[in-house]
Structure 1
């Protein structure tokens, strides 16, 4: 009985938190920018000198889609992640310090690429 109650409570918390909270928790930061494109969005999160990117599909129909997320601090190699996902894909946080970053994301055939931002 206690296990069932715990599972129902956890499920309720996930519903209340919503997808925006889950994205921020994956990077442990606050959202500072959103780039939109035809098939999705790239949310950029920053905490201290660390930055990460989360690509989210506009259509959440449960089918697998090819997705891509990338964040690059100026002077460093990009941190990229790609694969077939249903809803979202995120990068690990990269240390940017006070340097500019470039962010890219794609879902299916749509994509976006930023200039150097957050300088």
Structure 2
């Protein structure tokens, strides 16, 4: 939802309050995850450590993403004096980000070359 000026809302017949337009709800918690503690903990891990994981991955691999298609996961139980622990290992394919720049291979120039050769 876009926050619009009071003048725009008056002209177009909108009566919403400006402050309600500016607020956003948290998108990461919904009614399902808030009632399932295990799933909520995964959301909590990403909220807490997500930026750190991102920085470490970018430091090691450069700009890009982890593929969710080619994904493997291992779950193991580890004994500990403080109680059993869950060990989760994830293996994803790294996909580097391709930077698109206007230049010799831009669509506009390729189209001009195709027209010139015909």
Q: State if a TM-score over 0.5 links the two structures.
A: no
Please give the range of the TM-score, normalised by the shorter of the 2 chains: under 0.3
Q: Higher helix share goes to which structure?
A: 2
Does 1 or 2 have the higher relative contact order (CA < 8 Å, sep 6+)? 1
Q: Give the number of the structure whose alpha-carbon radius of gyration is greater.
A: 2
TM-score normalised per structure 1: 0.27
Higher strand share: 1
